[in-house]
């Protein structure tokens, strides 16, 4: 059985930051200081860190970035999903944590938005995320070389507009 910790960035302790950086360092081989600086620069106090645990060991990590999107001209609040990673690949922990986040989005009536490279599409689609078409999306600050996926929005939406920063 897995446990999940959702913690706002403003309440993050040094020991939790250390656990996050340990996990992130597996996927992105930067120094501790580079990871720490990236988090300080890109994560707002209201954003949420998500850690998946098996007992006392942190196995996987995701960050939830508070966002506003317009879906068919209706302003909705949600989360951008970023930094999905696990301490070890191939163990199913990425799947476990994304399913926990899906449930969190659904229970809190929040939209989920993520950007990913082609090689990660299958993973997200198999776990309930829906890929958008180029006609359905408008982003002012996002490269069109990434794929956009959504979660917990109406199936028949026409257009999503997001003007925030990439996450």
* Percent of the chain whose pLDDT exceeds 90: 81
Q: How confident is the model at residue 139 (pLDDT cuts 50, 70, 90)?
A: confident
167 vs 113: which has the higher pLDDT: 113
Q: How confident is the model at residue 143 (pLDDT cuts 50, 70, 90)?
A: low
Q: For residue 59, give the nearest of 81, 26, 10 by alpha carbon.
A: 26
State both tokens at 12. Answer: 């993050």
Q: How confident is the model at residue 154 (pLDDT cuts 50, 70, 90)?
A: confident
Alpha carbon distance 69, 115 (integer Å): 14
pLDDT for the residue 103: 97
pLDDT for the residue 51: 98
Alpha carbon distance 16, 51 (integer Å): 9
Give kind and range of the element (H or E) at residue 97: helix 93-107
Alpha carbon distance 143, 160 (integer Å): 15
Q: For residue 75, give every residue at least 6 positions away whose Cβ sits within 8 Å of its Cβ, in sequence order, or none.
A: 68, 69
Residue 26 DSSP SS3:
helix
Q: How confident is the model at residue 135 (pLDDT cuts 50, 70, 90)?
A: confident
b/e code 27-41 from CB counts within 10 Å (16+ = b) = eeeeeeeebeeebee
pLDDT for the residue 159: 92
Handedness of CA 64, 68, 69, 72 (dihedral sign): positive
pLDDT for the residue 138: 85
The pTM (predicted TM-score) of the whole model is 0.93
Please write the tens of the pLDDT for every residue from 11-63: 999 999 999 999 999 999 999 999 999 999 999 999 999 999 998 899 999 99
- Model confidence at 144: pLDDT above 80: no
Please write the tens of the pLDDT for every residue from 92-134: 999 999 999 999 999 999 999 999 989 999 999 999 999 998 8
46 vs 1: which has the higher pLDDT: 46
């Amino acid at each position: 059985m897995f446990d999940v910790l959702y913690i706002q960035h403003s309440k993050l302790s040094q020991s939790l930051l250390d656990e996050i950086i340990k996990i992130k360092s597996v996927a992105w081989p930067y120094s501790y200081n580079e990871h720490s600086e990236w988090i300080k620069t890109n994560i707002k106090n209201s954003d949420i860190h998500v850690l998946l645990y098996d007992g006392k060991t942190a196995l996987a990590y995701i960050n939830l970035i508070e966002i506003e999107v317009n879906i068919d001209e209706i302003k909705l609040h949600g989360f951008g999903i970023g930094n999905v990673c696990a301490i070890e690949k191939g163990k199913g922990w990425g799947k476990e944590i994304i399913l926990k986040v899906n449930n969190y989005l659904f229970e809190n009536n929040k939209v989920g938005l993520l950007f990913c490279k082609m090689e990660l599409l299958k993973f997200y689609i198999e776990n309930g995320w829906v890929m958008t078409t180029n006609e359905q999306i408008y982003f002012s600050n996002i490269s069109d070389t990434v794929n956009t996926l959504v979660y917990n929005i109406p199936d028949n939406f026409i257009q999503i507009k997001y003007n925030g920063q990439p996450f």
